[in-house]
Amino acid sequence: MTDAARELSRLVGALEDVVGQEATLFRAADYSGIRATQERAGPIITRLAEMSSSAGAAISARVVELIERRAALLLEMKRVSGQMSRDLKEVDEYERQFGRVAPVYAKREAPRSRLSVAI
């Protein structure tokens, strides 16, 4: 195995780890962790792209599989993001409705009791 092939294999392995971490973080709803993981993936992807001309069939197959896994994860992220957006709009609508009816229920001066208790 040449040095380039070893480096490519190591880079693809690192990217596989990053994609796995990203999926785990997504399931845990750790969105800031996902962003940090994606930032760490940037240099790996850049180096892989630079070395892509020397990639063999095995490395290319691993990269294709990674791309497919990542694409599936992105679709799931978009689906969840869309659902979150709809949920936030619904909450916003409830807040507006509450804002319209809240004055009716605002604290008023307590009415004086008409009953008196004799001791």
56-89 pLDDT tens trace: 888 888 888 998 999 999 999 999 999 999 999 9
pTM over 0.85? The answer is no
In the numeric block, the tokens 């909450």 are attached to 91
Q: Is the pLDDT of residue 107 over 80?
A: no
Domain range for 69 is 3-102
Is the residue at 94 inside a domain? yes
What is the pLDDT averaged over residues 24-39?
Answer: 93
Is the residue at 111 inside a domain? no
Looking at the 3D structure of the chain, how many domains does it have? 1
Question: Which has the closest alpha carbon to 41: 75, 63, 11?
Answer: 11
Q: What is the DSSP letter of 106?
A: S
Is the residue at 110 inside a domain? no
Is the residue at 115 inside a domain? no
Q: What was the pLDDT predicted at 101?
A: 86
Q: Could you read off the pLDDT of 39-60 as tens digits, one per residue?
A: 999 999 888 888 888 778 888 8
Cβ(8)–Cβ(54) under 8 Å? yes
